[in-house]
Amino acid sequence: MPDYTDEHAQAGIDTELPALETWPNQFKGYRIKTEIPEFTSVCPKTGLPDFGKLTIQYQPDRLCIELKSLKIYILAYRDLGIFYENVVNRILRDVVDAIDPVWARVQGDFTPRGGLNSSVDAEYRAEKRKP
C-alpha cells in the first residue's frame, strides 16, 4: 500500500467553501495585494497542522474581492485536510472563478516541515479580455 493515496492527493480540492463575494471595480490597470500571514490548514495524511503565509495578488478587471468574505473563505481552510501545493492552486482557481481578473498570482510560503521550507506559486493570465 502506498504511503500517499489518490484520496490524500485530492483531499480538499473540491470541498465546498464559503463564497468569495465581490464588488464592482471602478479603475483599471492597478494591482491588489493581500497578505495572510497566519494561514493554517491540515495535512490530509498525518492530520497535523500546516502553517504559512499566503500572498494573493491580482489586477482586477470588472470585479474586486470583498475582504471580509476572503477572510471567512481563508478561515475555512483551518480544519481542511489539503496539501499546501493544492491550497495555492485551489485559491487561485477560486479567485479566478469569482472575479475573472486580468491576471492573478497566489504564493504560499510554508513553515519548515522536517527541516524543509516550501514555497508554492501559481499564476493566471487571461488570454483574451471580454469586451
Domain ranges of the chain: 31-125
Using CA atoms, how far residue 74 sits from 62, 69, 80, 114, 127, in Å, is 23, 9, 10, 25, 27
Q: Which CATH number fits domain 31-125: 3.40.50.720, 3.30.1130.10, 3.40.50.150, 1.10.20.140?
A: 3.30.1130.10
**What integer pLDDT is reported at residue 2 of this predicted model?**
60
Residues 46-99 pLDDT 10s: 899 999 999 999 999 999 999 999 999 999 999 999 999 999 999 999 999 999
Q: What's the start-to-end Cα distance of the chain, in Å? A: 52
The residue with cell 472563478 is 97
**What integer pLDDT is reported at residue 124 of this predicted model?**
98
**Residue positions annotated with a catalytic role:** 43, 50
Is the predicted pLDDT of residue 131 greater than 60, yes or no?
A: no
For residue 23, list its beta bridge partners. Answer: 64
